[in-house]
């Protein structure tokens, strides 16, 4: 009899941000395939004796291939295991979820998705800012800062991303932010628009740097930072709510 796979969001790193459902799935799992950012104290909730398999991907570091991760999920489930695929943040945001679901569907294996706290909302909470506000920040948009090759995606809607009345969150931004910022400013986004660089959100290594779109581009020029990070920019990023 085939097993079952639970795609579980582990949040940005703080185990206290796990949902009750996430903890329950970890305690019941026969195997946990986890991302790097889901390691550490979060894994203490896993059942004693469960297989713990690191399958995380980090920019610039050797990482398991996606087809290998998908194959592991299928193999464990076919053997009858209850599997948790532990993904950092929320599984539905930039987590390669679709490829893994496709592999399970092709093998006839059941699955569920357990939402998690995304680093975007966690960063806003730590910074003490909302992501929306009537009249000045009616819209929130999430975008990835790099494609599969680690470069700035070529199909970004720059005009939408340059909307000064939106709060925009860029995931995995450090390497490509200078180029993205230059394109945003060329499209009309003010260089002095508030921006917030958040690294290692909700962990002991957490850091927040308040800046502007233009200044942050200069700061990150030539960087290849490896810390998990995102950049928020828009009218609320400075944190001064008046």
Per-residue pLDDT, averaged over 99-127, amounts to 96
Sign of the CA dihedral with 158 first, then 179, 206, and 39 last? positive
**Mapped to the 3 state alphabet, what secondary structure does 99-125 carry?**
HHHHHHHHCCCEEEEECCCCHHHHHHH
Catalytic residue (choose from 14, 35, 90, 163): 35
Joined together, the tokens standing for residue 29 give 């799992």
pLDDT at position 59 is: 53
Q: What's the pLDDT score for residue 239? A: 63
d(CA 113, CA 93): 12
CATH assignment of 119-233? Answer: 3.30.950.10
Q: Give the integer Cα–Cα distance in Å for 175 and 182.
A: 13
CB 233 within 8 A of CB 194: yes
219 close to 114: Cβ distance less than 8 angstroms: no
What distance lies between CA 199 and its chain's CA centroid? 12
Kindly tell me the burial class for residue 49, based on how many C-beta atoms sit within 10 Å of its own C-beta (0-12, 13-18, 19 or more).
exposed
Q: Between 147 and 233, where is the model more confident?
A: 233
Catalytic choice (87, 90, 172, 193)? 172
pLDDT of residue 81: 98
Cα–Cα distance, 85 to 87 (Å, whole number): 6
pLDDT at 57: 66
List phi, psi (to 5°) of 61. Answer: -125, 150
Give the pLDDT mean for 212-239: 87
How confident is the model over 115-166, as pLDDT tens digits?
A: 999 999 999 999 999 999 888 888 999 999 988 888 999 999 999 999 999 9
Indicate if 35 belongs to the active site. Answer: yes
* Residue range 4-114, CATH number: 3.40.1010.10
Which among 21, 36, 51, 57 is annotated as catalytic? 57
Q: Indicate if 57 belongs to the active site.
A: yes
Query: What tokens does 114 get?
Result: 């357990």
> Would you give the distance in Å from CA 210 to the centre of its chain?
20
The residue ranges of every structural domain in the chain are 4-114, 119-233
Q: Per-residue pLDDT for 242 more than 50?
A: no
**Over residues 180-192, mean pLDDT:** 97
pLDDT digits (tens, 9 = 90+) for 34-93: 998 888 899 999 999 999 999 986 555 556 788 999 999 999 999 999 999 999 999 999
Alpha-carbon distance 169 to 180, whole Å?
Answer: 13
Q: Got the DSSP string for 126-157?
A: HHT--S-BTTTB-EEEEEES--TTSSPPTT--
Q: Tens of pLDDT along 189-201?
A: 999 999 999 999 9
Arithmetic mean of pLDDT, 215-225 = 87
pLDDT value, residue 64:
78
């Amino acid at each position: 009899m085939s097993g079952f796979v639970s795609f579980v969001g582990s949040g940005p790193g703080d185990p206290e941000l796990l949902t009750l459902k996430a903890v329950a799935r970890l305690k019941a799992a026969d195997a946990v395939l986890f991302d790097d950012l889901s390691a550490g104290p979060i894994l203490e909730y896993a059942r004693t004796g469960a297989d713990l398999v690191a399958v995380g991907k980090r920019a610039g570091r050797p990482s398991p291939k996606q087809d290998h991760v998908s194959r592991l999920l299928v193999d464990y489930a076919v053997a009858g295991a209850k599997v948790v695929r532990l993904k950092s943040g929320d599984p539905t945001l930039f987590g390669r979820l679709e490829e893994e679901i496709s592999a399970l569907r092709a093998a006839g294996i059941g699955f569920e998705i357990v939402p998690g706290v995304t680093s975007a909302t966690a960063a806003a909470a730590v910074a003490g800012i909302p992501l929306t506000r009537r009249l000045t920040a009616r819209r929130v948009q999430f975008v990835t800062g790099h494609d599969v090759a680690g470069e700035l995606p070529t199909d970004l809607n720059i005009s939408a991303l340059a909307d000064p009345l939106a709060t925009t969150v860029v995931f995995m931004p450090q390497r490509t932010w200078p180029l993205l910022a230059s394109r945003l400013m060329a499209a009309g986004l003010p260089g002095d628009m508030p921006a917030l660089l958040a690294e290692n959100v909700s962990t002991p290594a957490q850091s927040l740097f308040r800046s502007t779109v233009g200044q942050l581009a200069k700061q990150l020029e030539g960087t290849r930072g490896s810390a998990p990070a995102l950049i928020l920019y828009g009218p609320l990023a400075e944190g001064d709510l008046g």
